Amino acid sequence: MRPIIIYYSYGGNTKRIAEDIHEKKGYDITEIKPVVPYTSDYQKLVDLEESKMSQEELVEIEPINIDLSNYDTIILGTPVWWYTMTPPIRTFLKKYDLSGKKIVPFATNGGWLGTTFDDIKKYTPNSEVEKPISIKFNENTLVTNTEEINKWTNEIEL
């Protein structure tokens, strides 16, 4: 069985990291997409969505057309919104049974990780969450040392 990279990306940073892992490791990859896309106006997004985050909102996501039973490891990527994972990732974790799987999360953020990894654990109580990494960006500029990310990527095992 092979690992798979599953991610949601709003501004492209999480996608950039997911695709980099895909290129280096050759793992399958799929993107979580909300049925109704978020506005591209970041300030509007902040104004509209901030109050919903504390309610652990779920959003409708497009179905993923993969058989998760073919994978025992999920490399899970999410931006950090208001100190936690995004609603599309929360919906994915709620909708799909990941029991018995190893989850290796990465979170792209501006320096405010909050409870992201603890919340992923909360939504996957029958999974093993290990080797999380916080990857910092300043806007679209990577701040986290590339060597640190490469070391983490190399430590992901089959």
Query: Cα–Cα distances in Å, from 133 out to 52, 76, 104, 145?
Result: 25, 10, 8, 12
pTM equals: 0.94
Place of tokens 């909102």: 57
Q: In the predicted model, what is the mean pLDDT of residues 50-61?
A: 78
In whole angstroms, what is the distance from residue 133 CA to residue 70 CA?
24
Contact criterion met (CB below 8 Å) for 39 and 48: yes
pLDDT, tens digit, for every residue of 139-152?
999 999 999 999 99
Give CA angle at 88 (11, 149), nearest 5°. Answer: 55
pLDDT, tens digit, for every residue of 91-102?
999 999 999 999
pLDDT, tens digit, for every residue of 70-110?
999 999 999 998 889 999 999 999 999 999 999 999 999 99
Q: Which domain holds residue 96?
A: 3-155
Q: Any idea what the CATH number is for the domain that residue 52 is in?
A: 3.40.50.360
Total number of domains constituting the chain: 1
Contacts for 146 with CB less than 8 Å, ≥ 6 apart: none
